[in-house]
Structures are given as C-alpha cells and as structure tokens.
Amino acid sequence: MNNELINEDLLFAMSWKDKVLYLAAHRAEDELLRAFLRTKSEEEWWEEGLYDKEPSKNLDRAIGKVIWERYEFAHHQDIIEQPKYRPVKELLHDFQGTGNRQKARKEMQVRLRYLTAYEQKKILYAFMDSLAKIDRDFACKYLDKYYDPMYQLALETIWGLHHDFEAAKVVTHYASDEFIKAHFDELANDYRYLPVRLRMPADYPVDRSQLEWHELILLCARQHLSITEEEAFAILSNVIHLQLIRENVAFEGNSLLRLAYVSAVLWALGELGFQDLVLRFYVENERTKPLFRSGDKDAIAWEIREQIYHDGFCTSHNLGTKEDVEIRELFKRYKEHPEDFEE
C-alpha cells in the first residue's frame, strides 16, 4: 500500500467494486487483495460490475488465483471413503462359495502383501486351486516376485495340471536343476526355450531351431559356448536387417542401437571377445546416423536398408534358428522385388 494517508471514511463508503479497484490501484499486497475478493462469490463479482472493463494486471492476477484456489479447495474437499475391509475368512468364503467372487478377489489381491503369513498362505492356495486361469496367474506372478520355497511343490503341481505360461515361468526360475532337466521339453514349450536352457549346464545340448538369432548369441555369451565370428556377424547383420524390414519398426533416437535386440547382440559380441565386429558396427552406426533424420519412418527404413546392404551387412548364412526361414524369404523377396519394400 502506498504511504499516502488513507481516507477511511471515503474508503468504507465506496461500493464493493470501487473498494476492489482502490486496493488494486494503490498496490495493496496480493494476499490482501485476494482476501477482499473472497468476500463475494464469482457470481456477485459479475453483479457488482467487476468485469465491466478490463482489470489491471495485478487485479487480473488476483482474480485468477482466487478462482483457482476456490476450485482446488472444492476439489480437495471431496470425501474419500475409508476402505471397510472384511475379515479374510469372509473373503475366502465369498471367493470359494456363492458370494461376490469378483469383489472378494479384488480385495484379497490388494491386501495380500500386508496380511499375516498365515492369511497369505490361505489366499495364495485358494488362488492356485482356482479353476480360473486369472487366479492361478495372479498367484504365480506374485510368487515369482515374492518367492517363498514353501510354495514350490504347489507351483510345480499346478503347472503339471494346467501348463499355464505364468506357472511354467516361475517354475523355471525356482525349481531344482533336477526338476528342470526332467521336464525340460515341457517347460520350454509352455514358457520359452532360452530361459529353460540357461538353467542347464553349458555342455547340455542346444536346439538352435528353438532360438531366435539374438537368443542364440546371448546363450553363447552367457554360457561361454563356441560360436564363429562368421556366425556372430550373421546374427548382427540379420537382426538389424530384419528389424528394418519388419512392419511397425520404431525409430527412437538416431542410432541402430535403438532397434530391437541390437543392443543385446552388441553386449554379447563384447562378452565373446569379437573386437572387430564391435568396431565394424560402430563404423556402420556412425555412417547411418544421418539417414535417421532424412524423412518419414518408411523412407528412413528404406535408406538405411540400402546403406547397410551396400556395406555388406547382409548375409544368407544359415544359423539353423527359427528365424532363418523368415529372413531367407525376406532377402529373396528383397533381391527379386525391391519395389515391394518401398513406400
């Protein structure tokens, strides 16, 4: 507020609107101006003629803050109902009987982590015994994250009965080596070949037809298996080429490293000691970076495919993997009808 003397009688005799304008014109502190604005509702502001002409900057700012504060205050005054949890015994009765099964399921899933070990055991066994796959999957996902050996036999049992993906996954992660070896083919079929094979020692046979290219080189790197430099280069070039040819390829960043699986393959090349291949990839990656900024997604993919094909990043080496058939067909089409790959 300015230091000039205030005529209180005059000020108090003013209309509400004039009082607001007076405070704004005399640079009253923002908090004080907002406090006075709050003495009337927004509807009354209109009735008082506050908007008859454009307000000053400080008044406009104060009006905006009051409107926002009132909205926030009203919003945060919404009453949030406190959850009324029921005894676990009642939830299990509804879940396993004729009660509201869906409601009981949801509440038990939300509360499971915070219950006693005894209650957790009751609920997890109820989920694992359920005929509904959604319940068994929840229990398996939960135990995959919060594993307890006491449930291992139950997990192996429900996997043997239903052969669910999530059950095969948690069994693969935690079962004994003897169990994995005895049920290798079934687990690989129900889950994935690579993680099941990684549970076996390095000298265990490798079925390449069950692996994708990046999985083959990752397995070799993780278990120090023999692979030639020619095969390693074939995997690198094929992974790059296939990701560029496949539809819906995502270009995030301006590097071949952003393509799916390329970073993982490069990690494996390093672990396997292929210095020249890592450097060759570096040169090719730098050479293709400007192409990532050359146009739309399809144009980018086309130009990069042309460049890497020209530089020799294209091979028909048969690695015996399940992707070899796909890539051979794609290369054949590309060589015979390159126009099919143009936009």
Same structural domain for residues 244 and 321?
A: yes
pLDDT tens digits, 150-198? 999 999 999 999 999 999 999 999 999 999 999 999 999 999 999 999 9
pLDDT band at 99 (very low <50, low <70, confident <90, very high): confident
Residue 163: both structure tokens together: 């052969």
Same structural domain for residues 303 and 224?
A: yes
pLDDT at 310: 72
User: How confident is the model over 80-96, as a mean pLDDT?
Assistant: 88
In this predicted structure, the answer to whether residue 3 has a pLDDT above a threshold of 50 is no
Mean model confidence pLDDT for the chain = 85
pLDDT exceeding 70 applies to what percent of the chain? 85
Q: Which of 176, 341, 147 is CA-nearest to residue 246?
A: 341
Any domain includes 301: yes
Any domain includes 77: no
Any domain includes 109: yes
In this predicted structure, the answer to whether residue 292 has a pLDDT above a threshold of 80 is no
Range of the domain at 46: 8-65
Any domain includes 205: no
> Cα–Cα–Cα angle for 212, 217, 221, nearest 5°?
145
Any domain includes 70: no
pLDDT at 80: 67
Q: Which of 305, 313, 311, 230 is CA-nearest to residue 269?
A: 230
pLDDT tens digits, 212-263? 999 999 999 999 999 999 999 989 988 888 787 765 555 566 788 888 899 9
Same structural domain for residues 49 and 111?
A: no
pTM more than 0.75: no
What is the number of domains present in the chain?
Answer: 3
Q: Which of 100, 162, 106 is CA-nearest to residue 129?
A: 162
Any domain includes 166: yes
Same structural domain for residues 176 and 236?
A: no
Contact 127, 139 (CB under 8 A): yes
Q: What is the dihedral of CA 209, 212, 216, 218, to 10 degrees?
A: -150
Same structural domain for residues 332 and 222?
A: yes
pLDDT band at 129 (very low <50, low <70, confident <90, very high): very high
